[in-house]
Amino acid sequence: MKVKTQVVNGHVKQVSDSNLDIATWCDIFLESKKPFWKPNTYDSRARTVRLYIKPLLGSFNLSKLDIMTYQRVFINVLSSKLSPGSVKSAHKIFSTMINAAVENEIIPRNRFSKVSIKKNI
């Protein structure tokens, strides 16, 4: 909770080299964006985080997750359960959270911007 408070209050540098996991970053991100989103937008994104991002990626370290692991553990698993559009939507939400981590100088760049999502033919 102390880390969350530091990030939300703008003291991001203090956690930039920490073992911040993706689940914690999801909570921080959603909490910081809630005042700026319409309730339906927030609920939809929070549901995607709760149902897909946290269960599949939550335990991974934010700064150490690599693109191959992301593709295997997240994209491929979701592709076996959901439509390509739903997978793309979940990826977009995750990518937005990663971009926010970059903007807040928690990680240096978004490694996941060139991920391929297979289309059903």
pLDDT at 16: 47
pLDDT at 113: 87
Say which CATH architecture domain 2-103 belongs to: Orthogonal Bundle (1.10)
Question: Please, which residues bridge with residue 21 across strands?
Answer: 61
Task: Give the C-alpha separation, 116 to 72, whole Å.
Answer: 11
pLDDT at 116: 80
**Helices 22-33, 84-103: inter-axial angle, 10-degree rounding:** 80
- pLDDT tens digits for range 11-46: 555 454 468 999 999 999 999 999 999 999 999 999
Domain ranges of the chain: 2-103
Task: Give the C-alpha separation, 22 to 45, whole Å.
Answer: 15
Q: According to DSSP H, which parts of 1-121 are helical?
A: 2-8, 22-33, 39-48, 54-57, 67-70, 76-79, 84-103
- pLDDT tens digits for range 56-101: 999 999 999 999 999 999 999 999 999 999 999 999 999 999 999 9
- Whether the per-residue pLDDT at 121 is higher than 70: the answer is no
